[in-house]
A and B are shown apart, each in its own frame.
Chain A
């Protein structure tokens, strides 16, 4: 499991900028950012260095932020890799809350998954998937 920074954001002009500025002012580097938006608020999910410290910095600045445990899975860069992974989740009754993919470490395809329940990661490992720990993605 890795730690993901989550920020609750009101839909307001310039607001994502001020949140990311707060992170950068603390000297924290970001590696990936994904936004889920609804009519009046958004949720920013961020992989960054020192996520716990980033959360503290944001909370002190008046933001609503949290650290969430998610699974990072290495995938082959070829058609059907993600579909196969998600089918496997489905067959094992693992409910995927959300997922996003990005390329890291100069070419590795990584899928981040938020799955309900505690044993999802061990199921994936048991099926031969390689999951990543924090140190291979960001500094803690």
Chain B
């Protein structure tokens, strides 16, 4: 049996959990409808009323809310509480447009801390643990979210925030940090810097876990962090619109992240047809907040692509999981009617040590038939002299892609200079279809 932070909730029998979700969903919908004009209008436009919600499945009748709707509601359009009840405001970075503003009541903040604290317990943390929060503090939800989780479970919290890496490492060592919470790229930088400083954090430091989120990390990167620091890696999912880190967290069994299902109702939709998909199918994650008071979100389209894992988890928690994110719906390609994510192709490539990490996907069409060409390079020490080995590599890669993506991909081995290197985001997809 795991040491759950809130065992009565986290291990609640599924039937009772669904009843709780329905009760909470109904009050969330009432809160949204009564207090937010946006929902009154969107429900009316869709021809639905609160009476249409009798079961959890009925939620599918209701309209979505998008990032753009949140931008349009700037600043207070989605607030369901008066200023006197608002305890804190967070905002998304706004790098891709107008910032989105989210308000939290004291209860919202407490629930948030509880959600994150469940993840701390998943990595073996308790009141006796020391957690170092190296996420940035501020409008970004990472720092204060992890901080609230640490306080909720009673940890000693070290609010180092990000930056000043050598001092972070010194404190980590001297104060005996058990758990590090930060972005995966920062965890790797901390590990590498500690090694450069002459430490072996895996054996010399007390640290036993990292809780990482807020940006994508490949399996190799996670493994590298876990090995270099000698820790359990816990993936945390969250987004500022919905709450922040803690919406879903990964237990020691891995295989997905347990959603805080008493707080959030998750659906997976086909981003094209907008139909709800059955558990296990990949699609866009749509989240409804069940308990949030200040900024209730009903059917928020996250644009994140994942699937729901409903098989019971060996850890004993009954809350279902989301699988590792595959990417964003914006990145999704539709090839011969099949949804394909560049991350799926990347995953296959990383399984071939003979292939370098740079790649490019060229899409063309021959009448109605889409053609996919994957351009890859061999690693510098591949025996290019042997045509047989090159041909064999091509056919093995093609077979692996076919079995993973369900579509035929033609492989073109190219020279190093053929694929453009770029400092920032590499251009991986060239879509010449017309």
Contact = CB atoms under 8 A, between A and B. Distances in A.
A111 interface: no
Contacts of B377: 64
A10 B385 contact: no
B82 interface: no
B418 interface: yes
Interface string B380-398: 1001111110110000000
Nearest to A58: B415
A59 B387 CA distance: 19
B415 A63 contact: yes
Nearest to A19: B415
Contact of B415 (A38, A64, A66, A97): A64
- A: contact size bracket: 20 to 34
A125 to B, nearest CB: 23
Contacts of A7: 384
Interface residues of B, number: 18
Nearest to A7: B384
A80 interface: no
Interface of B is mostly: mixed
B417 A66 contact: no
A64 B384 contact: yes
Nearest to B390: A41
A49 to B, nearest CB: 19
Given A8-B415, A38-B391, A62-B417, A45 B385 contact: yes
A8 B413 contact: yes
B288 interface: no
A40 interface: yes
Contact of A10 (B378, B380, B387, B415): B415
A97 B386 contact: yes
A68 interface: yes
A97 B388 contact: yes
Nearest to B386: A97
Contact of B383 (A10, A41, A66): A66
B415 A36 contact: no
Interface in A18-76: 36, 38, 40-41, 43, 45, 59, 61-66, 68
**Most A-side CB within 10 Å, residue of B384, B387, B388, B415:** B415
A135 B412 CA distance: 38
B416 A62 contact: yes
A130 B414 CA distance: 39
Nearest to A69: B385
20 contacts: A4-B385, A6-B384, A6-B385, A8-B384, A9-B415, A36-B387, A40-B412, A40-B413, A41-B412, A41-B413, A45-B385, A61-B417, A62-B416, A62-B417, A63-B416, A64-B378, A65-B384, A66-B383, A68-B385, A98-B387
Interface of A: 4, 6-10, 36, 38, 40-41, 43, 45, 59, 61-66, 68, 97-98, 114
User: Which 9 residue pairs spanning A and B have beta carbons closest together?
Assistant: A62-B417, A8-B384, A6-B385, A68-B385, A64-B415, A36-B387, A66-B384, A40-B412, A62-B416
Given A8-B413, A10-B418, A63-B415, 15 more contacts: A9-B415, A10-B412, A10-B413, A38-B387, A38-B390, A41-B412, A41-B413, A43-B385, A43-B387, A59-B380, A62-B417, A64-B377, A64-B378, A66-B384, A68-B385
